[in-house]
Each structure stands twice: as structure tokens, then as C-alpha cells.
């Protein structure tokens, strides 16, 4: 008995990773085994530890990867191996998630368990469609009903007479395939044929779709539109409020699909901002940041007081410099002497977050501007330390050396080609209706071209808009055959996102 593990029946929420509870995220990160369903998104699954066992047991209509009985036995078997098991379900495990059945089976087999509720799509999907499920001017009751009941059942477990006769909001889960039956029974048992109804497909996700109508015509609308599951069905007068309260669809990038090519370790802020503004983001990392041990770093640190300036050209340069400094047994207190120049506010913020004080940020975030401002501060014979990426542009050290400045360059990292691209990302890039590709460095352009290949590239170059963080990146993109549509006036990620919003607004 001492070797028995623990099972957590966890709700993953309705789809938007931001609606995952804090407790759920912590458990996913710590678990040994993650057993998950079809409606749990890849961003949530990616939160599990790299060495965790991930088991997909999803169900679709008429297509179950594992029968429920085998799922029950699977989680029991893993727990008996002493594992911490997270059984992850879309929405809430106790709202038509069969969590009660799994809990009973765990109890029967002597396996300890906990329940972690999730945000149910029955409430979240209507909310993201601008439909409050209760409103004191319309109704104070809410009924959540399975829409998955088979029409041919001799006796329905749904009390149609009671739910049809009232005026409260009805929410049906998993009911699109049975919509005709649902509608006909509601009307037959007393609901007005003119009762408003909404279907919310992929609720809370960037590609959410909403279809509204009334009971007597909604089945025809669904057929005409080709509206497919999964969707939440909302019936009641509250549906009328969508016209005034819809917000998710009105965000500036709603309906847009944008590709982000930054390294996975750097992309989170940009992805979050684009998604917050409504875009569907395809993460297609083309580079990975690979540290390079700089053999001359220790010697440079020993004589650090001889340098007038320490210049950082990127956030990665700051991170890798400080990491290697610490590995050599130094810390920031040893950086006495040189003043610090940081190219760009993000680089400066990273340096200051590490305890460094930045003296200068060039007005333009590129090497030429940095050279101009450093030359105004330095005289011939002074020394500068320049930790940066392998293969970086030579313009900065060349301009300084031409004026007699001694520049010690340290290659401390490189933007290496991403070794593997997931088939999922490649599939999205091939099949999605892409509006925009973003490039944040020349490396992302060159590596994107290398990963996609000539055949895949030709279609994208003809049809898809391109946004580049600055003119150097844009020049590389043009040389690769792209037409660049967006370059922000300030070369930062936040300004790039702002420029994308402005461009999309003008080209709606």
C-alpha cells in the first residue's frame, strides 16, 4: 500500500490556456503521468515536465481511442506503480466529464484521489460570445444538459417537458450532431419556435465561431454554414444580449492567423500579446539560442576595469554574458569600471533586471546608431568589451576601430537552426489560412527559408503579408524573396505588435 501513488482528476478549462487554474497548472507541471482528452490544447499539455508520460485517451463521436473502462484501469495501473497521475479533462471533470465514474472506480480500487474543478465551457463559451447565461432582466435559472443523448433511446433521461416549459437558459454540451432532435423536442414540449439560440464553436479559442438564430431555423443555418462540432448550444432570451455584449470577436486581430518565428524561449511575450488582441498564433520557432563558451571571457573579466564601455546588443547577449560570468565564479560586483551601453529598451531592461546600470540606450536600436553615440563618448585608445552572437553584423566594431577604439569581441551564443519542427506546426503552416508571418531577426528569416524549402515558400511569398522588426531584418527578407509590408518605427517587439494592429486595421 505504501507504493500507491495519487490521482488528480483535473479540469483543464474550456480551451483558452489562460483559463487553466493555478492549481491545475502546478499539478500538470509536477505529475509523472498525464492522461488527457481531445479538447485539451497543446499549450496546456506542453506544461508537463519533459520526462512525464503523456497518454492521449481522447474521444470523438463514434471514435474512442480507448473505451472508458480501459481509461479507468489505465489510471489505476499507473497509480499502483507509485506514480502521480493527472487525469486531465476539458472543462470541468464533474460536468459531463465522467469524472464521477472515474472517481468511483478509484475509490473501489483503493486509490487516493483529489478533484480539481475547471472552468466549464457551459459558462465560459457563452461568456466569450457575449452571452451571459443569467441576467436578472431575462432569467435567473440555468440548466446544463447533455446534448449527446442518442435520439433512438426509448426513454430519454432528459426531462424535456420541464426544461421546455420554463423560461430559463438552457445550455447543451456536445449536441451539434443531435441539434435537430433537440430543437424539435423543445418546440414539441412548449418552447416558442422563435426562442433565440446560439452555437459557440471552439469557445474561448482564437478561432471561435458563433452562429445565432431561432429554434425553428437554426438547423437549416447550421447545414448551410457547414457548422461542425465541437460547440456549446445556448437557448434562451439571453442570446439577444450578444449583439451588444460581444467582445471577443471585436478585438483588433480577431480572425487573423499570424506566424511567430522567434525562438521558443523568446516567443512567449509576443505570442501572448498577439493572442490577447485576438489573433490565432502559429508558433513556428526557426532558431534556438545556443550558448558558446567564450575562451577569452575570464581574461576580459580579470582586466574589466581597463574597459571604458561594456556594450550589449541583445537580450540574449546579456543573459549569456551573466550566465557565463557566474559559471566562472564572478558576479556583477566584479563589473566595476566600464559604463554600459544597451541597444534597445528590451536589452536595457534585461541588463537592469540583472543588477546592471545602463548609461546609454542609442536613439535607434541598431549598430550604426550605437557606433555614433559611443564615438561621441570615447577617444582613440579606449577599450570596449562587446559580448554578442556569432555571425553578428560587423558594422559596430568596424566603425569603432576605424576611429582608434580597441574592441574586444566575445562570441557567447549563436542563433542556431531549430533542429526539429513539430509535424503539428508544419501542418498548420500548410493548411491554415495565414494572414501574416513575423520575423524578428535576419536569422529567423534565413532559418524559416531553410526549414520550409522552396516549394512551401513560393505560395507563402505570393499570398501572405510579412512584418519585420527592423530594416536589417527586412532587407534579409526581401533578399529571400518576400515583400515586406510592416516595419515599426521603433525596433521592438511591442512596437512591432502595435504596427501589425495598425496595418490590419487599415487593411480589414
Domains detected in the chain:
6-119 (3.40.1010.10), 123-250 (3.30.950.10), 257-286+419-506 (3.40.50.10090), 291-417 (3.40.50.10090)
Predicted confidence (pLDDT) at residue 152 exceeds the cutoff of 90: no
- Given a contact cutoff of 8 angstroms between Cβ atoms, the answer to whether 470 and 366 are in contact is yes
Active site residue 174: yes
CA distance 180 to 197: 13
User: What is the DSSP track for 433-499?
Assistant: ---EEEESSHHHHHHHHHHHHHHHHHHHHHH-EEEESSHHHHHHHHHTTPPP-B--SS-SHHHHHHH
Helical H segments across 328-441, by residue range:
345-353, 367-375, 395-402, 423-431
Rg (CA), the chain: 28
Task: Confirm if 308 and 384 have CB atoms less than 8 A apart.
Answer: yes
pTM of the predicted protein model: 0.79
Catalytic residue among 16, 37, 92, 435: 37
pLDDT digits (tens, 9 = 90+) for 273-318: 999 999 989 888 888 889 999 889 999 999 999 999 999 999 999 9
- 92 classed as catalytic: no
474-504 pLDDT, tens per residue? 999 999 999 999 999 988 899 999 999 999 9
Is 407 or 454 the better-scoring residue by pLDDT?
407
Q: What is the DSSP string of 249-298?
A: GGSTTTT-EEEE-S-TTT-HHHHHHHHHTT-EEEE---EEEEE---TTHH
User: Percentage of residues in the chain with pLDDT exceeding 90?
Assistant: 72
Sign of the alpha-carbon dihedral angle for 36, 40, 42, 44? negative
Round to whole Å and give the CA distance between 199 and 298.
64
- Cα 360 to its chain centre, rounded Å, is 34
Q: What's the pLDDT score for residue 58?
A: 83
Would you place residue 1 in the very low, low, confident or very high pLDDT band (cuts 50, 70, 90)?
very low
**Distance between CA 216 and CA 222 in Å, rounded?**
12
* 392 — pLDDT class (breaks 50, 70, 90): confident
Q: What percent of the chain has pLDDT over 70?
A: 96
pLDDT in tens, 4-59: 999 999 999 999 999 999 999 999 999 999 999 988 988 899 899 989 999 999 86
**Among residues 228, 238, 220, 226, which one has the least CA distance to residue 201?**
228
Is residue 90 a contact partner of residue 38, using CB atoms and an 8 Å limit? Answer: yes
What is the structure's pLDDT at 151?
59
Confidence at residue 59, expressed as pLDDT on a 0 to 100 scale: 67
Question: Cα(150)–Cα(127) distance, rounded to whole angstroms?
Answer: 28
Residue 64 pLDDT more than 70? no
Mean model confidence pLDDT for the chain: 91
Neighbours of 241 (CB within 10 A): 18
Q: Is residue 66 classed exposed, middle or buried when 0-12, 13-18 and 19+ CB atoms within 10 A define those classes?
A: middle
Average pLDDT over residues 66-91: 95
- pLDDT(365) > 90: no
Pick the catalytic residue from 6, 92, 174, 435.
174
Phi first, then psi: give them for residue 338, nearest 5 degrees.
-75, 145
What does the alpha-carbon distance between residue 332 and residue 327 come to, in Å, rounded to a whole number? Answer: 12
The set of residues, in sequence order, having a beta carbon less than 8 Å from that of 115 and lying 6+ positions away, is 8, 9, 93, 94, 99, 103
> Which triple of cell numbers denotes residue 318?
546579456
Q: What is the pLDDT of residue 148?
A: 77
Residue 193: per-residue pLDDT: 97
Cα distances from 448 to residues 264, 265, 288, 496, in angstroms, run 14, 17, 12, 19
Judge residue 334's burial from the number of C-beta atoms within 10 Å of its C-beta, 0-12 exposed, 13-18 middle, 19 or more buried.
Answer: middle
- Residue 164 clears pLDDT 80, i.e. is over it: yes
Amino acid at each position: 500500500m505504501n507504493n500507491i501513488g495519487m490521482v488528480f482528476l483535473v479540469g483543464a478549462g474550456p480551451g483558452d490556456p489562460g483559463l487553466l487554474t493555478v492549481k491545475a497548472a502546478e499539478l500538470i507541471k509536477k505529475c509523472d503521468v498525464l492522461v488527457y482528452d481531445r479538447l485539451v490544447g497543446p499549450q496546456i499539455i506542453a506544461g508537463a515536465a519533459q520526462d512525464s508520460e503523456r497518454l492521449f485517451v481522447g474521444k470523438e463521436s463514434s471514435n474512442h481511442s480507448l473505451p472508458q473502462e480501459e481509461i479507468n484501469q489505465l489510471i489505476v495501473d499507473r497509480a499502483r506503480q507509485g506514480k502521480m497521475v493527472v487525469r486531465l479533462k476539458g472543462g470541468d471533470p464533474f460536468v459531463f466529464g465522467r469524472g464521477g465514474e472515474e472517481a468511483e472506480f478509484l475509490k473501489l480500487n483503493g486509490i487516493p484521489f483529489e478533484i480539481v474543478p475547471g472552468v466549464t465551457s457551459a459558462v465560459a463559451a457563452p461568456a466569450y460570445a457575449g452571452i451571459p447565461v443569467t441576467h436578472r432582466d431575462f432569467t435567473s435559472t440555468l440548466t446544463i444538459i447533455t446534448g449527446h443523448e442518442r435520439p433512438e433511446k426509448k426513454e430519454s433521461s432528459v426531462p424535456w417537458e420541464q426544461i421546455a416549459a420554463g423560461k430559463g437558459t438552457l445550455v447543451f454540451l456536445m449536441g451539434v450532431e443531435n441539434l435537430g432532435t433537440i430543437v424539435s423536442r423543445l418546440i414539441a414540449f412548449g418552447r416558442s419556435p422563435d426562442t433565440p439560440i446560439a452555437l459557440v464553436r471552439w469557445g474561448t479559442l482564437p478561432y471561435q465561431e458563433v452562429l445565432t438564430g431561432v429554434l425553428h431555423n437554426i438547423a437549416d443555418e447550421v447545414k448551410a454554414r457547414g457548422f461542425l462540432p465541437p460547440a456549446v448550444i445556448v437557448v434562451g432570451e439571453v442570446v439577444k444580449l450578444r449583439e451588444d455584449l460581444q467582445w471577443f470577436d471585436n478585438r483588433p486581430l480577431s480572425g487573423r492567423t499570424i506566424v511567430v518565428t522567434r525562438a521558443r524561449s523568446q516567443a512567449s511575450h509576443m505570442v501572448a500579446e498577439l493572442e490577447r488582441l485576438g489573433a490565432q498564433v502559429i508558433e513556428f520557432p526557426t532558431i534556438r539560442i545556443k550558448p558558446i563558451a567564450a575562451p577569452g571571457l575570464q581574461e576580459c573579466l580579470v582586466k574589466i576595469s581597463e574597459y571604458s564601455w561594456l556594450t550589449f546588443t541583445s537580450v540574449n547577449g546579456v543573459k549569456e554574458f551573466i550566465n557565463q560570468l557566474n559559471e566562472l565564479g564572478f558576479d556583477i560586483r566584479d563589473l566595476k569600471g566600464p559604463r554600459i551601453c544597451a541597444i534597445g529598451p528590451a536589452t536595457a531592461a534585461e541588463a537592469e533586471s540583472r543588477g546592471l546600470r545602463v548609461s546609454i540606450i542609442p536613439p535607434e536600436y541598431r549598430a550604426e546608431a550605437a557606433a555614433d553615440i559611443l564615438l561621441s563618448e570615447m577617444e582613440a585608445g579606449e577599450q570596449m568589451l562587446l559580448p554578442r552572437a556569432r555571425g553578428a553584423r560587423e558594422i559596430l566594431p568596424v566603425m569603432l576601430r576605424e576611429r582608434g577604439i580597441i574592441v574586444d569581441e566575445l562570441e557567447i551564443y549563436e542563433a542556431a537552426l531549430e533542429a526539429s519542427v513539430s509535424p503539428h506546426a508544419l501542418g498548420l503552416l500548410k493548411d491554415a489560412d495565414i494572414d501574416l508571418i513575423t520575423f524578428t531577426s535576419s536569422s529567423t528569416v534565413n532559418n524559416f527559408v531553410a526549414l520550409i524549402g522552396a516549394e512551401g515558400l513560393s505560395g507563402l511569398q505570393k499570398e501572405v503579408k510579412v512584418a519585420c522588426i527592423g530594416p536589417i531584418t527586412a532587407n534579409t527578407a526581401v533578399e529571400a524573396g518576400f515583400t515586406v509590408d510592416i516595419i515599426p518605427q521603433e525596433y521592438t517587439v511591442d512596437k512591432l505588435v502595435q504596427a501589425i494592429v495598425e496595418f490590419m486595421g487599415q487593411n480589414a
